[in-house]
Structure 1
Amino acid sequence: MSNSLKASMAGLAIVDKARQRLGWTKTSTARWWQDAHTSRATLRRFWQGDRIQREIFIAICQAVGISNWEAIADAVNLNSDIADITTPYLDWQQAPDIESFYGRNQQLQQLEQWITSDRCKLITIVGIGGIGKTALVLALTDRMQSQFDFLIWRSFSTVPSLISLLDSLLSIFDQTVVQDISQGTAQLIYHLQKRRCLLILDGLDAVENLNNYNQFIQQLSRNHQSCILITSREQPKAIEINSTTICCLTLKGLPKTDAVELLKSRGFTGQELGLSTLIKLYRGNPLALKLVTPLIQSVFVGNVATFLAQNTLVIGDRLRTILKQQFMQLSDLEKNILYWLAIWQEPITFCRLQTHLLVSVDPATMLETIVALERRSLLEKWISFEGTSFTLQPLVMKIVIDELIENAVQEIYQVMQSSNITHFKILRTHWLLRPGTDDIASDRILHQLQQKLWQVYNATLPQTLNQIFLLLKDQSPLAIGYIACNLTTLLNA
């Protein structure tokens, strides 16, 4: 009996269905090759139809629940090599491992069409943190790797500069860059012209200064036979979408059916009361659902309804860091708008939003800012008979409220230390009591802020706030803004 085996085409189809049921990708789910006591490289060879050791072949099948491995093996002409299998050159060290992948069939088909039929040269996949952009690209390469000569993955989080990126890419083709971006870009495009490459640039939003990349990205959109895939939390301004060479896919949360499959893989049955509400609360964000499920399982013994009854939103440290990083990259006007939407906690029209700004902003600038926030998947749009309204999706709402409270506490501390009210930013420009209501007890932001302040000042809080009132004496209305309103509300509370 031969010491090596390869899979038949029919066998690969059986394995493919088995791994889909588990939510595993073909080659990027670490658990698969770990359970089989092998490596990612060997798993790739299995999918390519190459011969691998008999014991490992069997272990790969068993890892996805297939005990009848004989049905997977190619029993015909065991001593011959598979014919005409194109094995692409893989530079995949920077590609992450993923635990599971569910759904996204429509998005995968759309991407395949853009790459194969439409021959798009540049594709961007954008969406909020945790939505699954990287996982989608990994799943796509599982399906399409045989159609390329080279598959190259680069993560912007590990690339310090454009020169470094070009050096890294050109080293694949035995070339190096002489400290010249233009020359290096031209050399890269030359190689993209000669060979059919799939170049993945993951996490463009990690780049602090995109100006150096603008021209580079524009040049990657033309004059070659390859495909460049860029993932980012927002569409790069340098890219003008058109239907011939450049396409953009905006990724939203998982639909209910796929989200339920994900939750079932985390130990739920799919029949739990409140499961649909949980999915809606987290807007089908795969990472958010994965992070909250261990808490529900351990603290609430898997009772989703009991967790939801706590009327709180739990965000894991990993997702919190991602969303906070995105928030910190926003302009002051963008942050101010998000703060107002967090204070309202319900959809608000564009006109009504404008009336609450301390300093009026040109409507055109406001509209551009709203569009920019929507492009970053930070806003939710509501259409009603009153017109279009905007609010924040719950995950973003949680992060913005936390930032607002943290900064408000810091502002009060700085003012008390310096006796200078110029340290007031948020408390000057935003009235924390939701406009149109005086129901202080039900206002979450004020309640949370009061709790934080009591932790810092204890019983001296009223005295502290009254001392700040003295600093407002003889100040102009513009300098005071909403400060007095906020202090009064806190004192009355």
Structure 2
Amino acid sequence: MPPPETKNPETCGRELRALSEKMGFVTEAELAEAANLDRATVSKLFNGKTRKPNFTTAIKLVEALAAKSGESPEDILGQMVAIYQGSKKEYSDEDIEFLKRCFLNCACPQPTDASRREDLTRMPEVPAFFGRREELNQLEQSIVGKRCRLVGLQGLGGIGKTALAVKLVEGVKEQFDYLLWRSLRNAPPLAELLAEILAKMALFLGEETELPDTVEKLLSQLMNYLHRSRCLLVLDEAEGIMQSGELAGNYREGYRNYRELFRRVGEERHQGCLLVVSQELPRDIAIADWARSLSLQGLPEEDAAQILGTRQELSDRDYWGQLIELYRGNPLALKIVSQIVVDSFKGRVAQYIIQNTLVLGQNLRNLLETQIDRLSDLEEEIMYWLAIARYPVSLPELQALLPVSKSEAIEAIDSLGRRSLLENTANSDRTHFALQPVAMKYITEELIQDICKEIASSYKTKTTDEFYRLGSLRLVSDTDQNLKKLQLRLILTPIRDKLGKRFKTESRLTAHLQHILTLLDKQPAREVGYSKNNIRCLLEVIKT
């Protein structure tokens, strides 16, 4: 049982204020400015609204108080720790040791200016950043507070992973001796990446070094540097080294030695930290005890509204919440759709909402295409079935549609979830799965396009040899009449309209579809699949 709390937060706050005044700071504002902190942060500490300073705040306070008073940071730290001794949030022995290390002189050569201690030239600029306070704090606690050696950050394209990583680096950079940012977009071989990092670290340390000739020795030299100095290394766009066409988390051929990099950085003791940012994290990072990971979701309405607020032309603020929910708080999607609303609806969000549709825009469509192209065949098939289903589907319902075992279906669903493409809801007896709205829109458009291509191709070849989606997917429910009406309106009707433009006349299209049925009658049922039913439903739509 923990010891009873003997000091309340208000008492700690008064003692911290007294320490600040003793060191020479007259006002909250004066201390806040010297420590490079928000005045509100200092005020909450002094008034007991915050139980104790987090690590970054504590370090900044100690540095400011030491600089003002002339006392050593270690002495100031001791006094601050004593203030919170006996409170519910007192600093543990591990916390104190970490904070002490922040002020001890490092045995290795120390940098004298920023240019010698960081290489952030490849870190993108983030002109505007909204929300993510909780996520920033969680990452900071993992990297600075708990000194995790390997941290993963994953999420759907456009969700703001890189922007969050940039803000994190800017916030914690003073806690590290050296910082490097690299992108894996172009999939550099591990030996090439390590050689570049080691050359930069040698430059930081003012050393001359001869690079080893094997990946194993390069890794050992990197670990040597991480043992000697507090270094933060960021590897962005790590999906560049992951394999497309397989379940999430598998390395590309020729890049599996990255597993050894992640394992050694995560398992071995050292002072550094590696942050991996990716649309999908390697499996070993996602499940390892020696790594921490954060899956980034969309912004809550309050923060997402700030993005819309940057567009002064947008009106109908009462409808902004619906727009944010429609795009699930995805920052990039909201920036794209806000431009569409301005251009096409003169900024009237209400006018866009009543269209009862979801517009992707080419930039978002390209982003989704890149991510969908990475899916395995089974993941892709699940995506198409969920797009047709329109409503959340349970695992038994979904498995009944797939020619695979239950374990294979679960693995594929889990993989889609780790790619942030699925939403799931749970009731009392089972979990249901559905696509994110933007993914639903994209897959539906692709389905319509694929069906139209297959039917048009059969007109040229006079065969059904190229039927794939038509045969493998049942486009219309034969049991749920309400769902059938929805599928006819959202899937079959757009197919009819597109084919109508291609075939010019309704009679010409109808004749070709009847010819397809004749061809299918001559084929074995197992080869026909759902083709007959889908063609008949399409003919039904043409007649209406």
Would the aligned equivalents of 2:130 and 2:304 in 1 still touch at CA under 8 Å?
A: yes
Structure 2 partner of 1:273 = 318
Q: Which amino acid in 2 is paired with 1:95?
A: M
Cα gap change, 1:464 to 1:187, in 2 (>3 Å): farther
Q: String of CA shifts for 1:128-172, please: whole Å, max 9, x gaps.
A: 111110010011111101111111111111444323322322221
Structure 2 partner of 1:291 = 336
Structure 2 partner of 1:390 = 433
Structure 1 partner of 2:511 = 463
Would the aligned equivalents of 1:434 and 1:443 in 2 still touch at CA under 8 Å?
A: no
Measured on the aligned residues, the alpha-carbon RMSD in Å equals: 2.8
Q: Which amino acid in 2 is paired with 1:203?
A: E
After TM superposition, give the deviation of residue 269 of structure 1 in Å.
7.6
Structure 1 partner of 2:304 = 259
2: CA distance, partners of 1:127 / 1:255: 15
Q: 2:500 aligns with which of 439, 454, 459?
A: 454
Q: String of CA shifts for 1:11-42, please: whole Å, max 9, x gaps.
A: 58889799xxxxxxxxxxxxxxxxxxxxxxxx
After TM superposition, give the deviation of residue 471 of structure 1 in Å.
2.5
- Partner SS state of residue 152, structure 1: strand
Q: 2:383 aligns with which of 329, 338, 353?
A: 338
Structure 1 partner of 2:216 = 182
Would the aligned equivalents of 2:315 and 2:348 in 1 still touch at CA under 8 Å?
A: no
Cα gap change, 1:263 to 1:185, in 2 (>3 Å): same
Cα gap change, 1:241 to 1:119, in 2 (>3 Å): farther
1: CA distance, partners of 2:447 / 2:212: 47
1: CA distance, partners of 2:323 / 2:521: 49
Q: 1:92 aligns with which of 109, 120, 128?
A: 120
In structure 2, runs of 5+ residues without a counterpart are: 1-29, 41-63, 65-110, 203-208, 244-250
After TM superposition, give the deviation of residue 217 of structure 1 in Å.
2.3
Structure 1 partner of 2:103 = none
- Partner SS state of residue 168, structure 1: helix
Q: 1:326 aligns with which of 356, 365, 371?
A: 371
Would the aligned equivalents of 1:127 and 1:233 in 2 still touch at CA under 8 Å?
A: yes
Cα gap change, 1:177 to 1:321, in 2 (>3 Å): farther
Q: String of CA shifts for 1:276-299, please: whole Å, max 9, x gaps.
A: 111111111111111111221232
Q: 1:404 aligns with which of 407, 431, 447?
A: 447
Structure 1 partner of 2:133 = 105
Structure 2 partner of 1:236 = 282
After TM superposition, give the deviation of residue 346 of structure 1 in Å.
0.9
2: CA distance, partners of 1:178 / 1:377: 39
Answer with 1 or 2: which has the greater Rg: 2
Q: 1:377 aligns with which of 413, 420, 440?
A: 420
Q: Which amino acid in 2 is paired with 1:136?
A: L
In structure 1, runs of 5+ residues without a counterpart are: 1-7, 19-48, 50-83
Cα gap change, 1:367 to 1:440, in 2 (>3 Å): closer
* Stretch deviating more after TM superposition (222-231 or 433-442): 433-442
2: CA distance, partners of 1:269 / 1:441: 33
Structure 2 partner of 1:350 = 395
- Partner SS state of residue 287, structure 2: coil
The answer to whether the aligner puts 1:145 opposite 2:179 as a matched pair is no
In the superposition, the TM-score normalised over structure 2's length comes to: 0.72
Would the aligned equivalents of 2:242 and 2:282 in 1 still touch at CA under 8 Å?
A: no
Structure 1 partner of 2:232 = 198
2: CA distance, partners of 1:388 / 1:298: 40
In the superposition, the TM-score normalised over structure 1's length comes to: 0.79
After TM superposition, give the deviation of residue 249 of structure 1 in Å.
0.4
Would the aligned equivalents of 1:343 and 1:434 in 2 still touch at CA under 8 Å?
A: no
2: CA distance, partners of 1:93 / 1:348: 46
Cα gap change, 1:298 to 1:136, in 2 (>3 Å): same
Superposition pairs of residues 36-55 of structure 1, within 5 angstroms: none
* Stretch deviating more after TM superposition (144-153 or 181-190): 181-190
The answer to whether the aligner puts 1:214 opposite 2:248 as a matched pair is no
Q: Which amino acid in 1 is paired with 2:412?
A: T
2: CA distance, partners of 1:247 / 1:270: 41
* Stretch deviating more after TM superposition (199-208 or 129-138): 199-208
Question: How much identity, in percent, do the aligned residues show?
Answer: 36
Q: Which amino acid in 2 is paired with 1:457?
A: F
Would the aligned equivalents of 1:292 and 1:315 in 2 still touch at CA under 8 Å?
A: yes
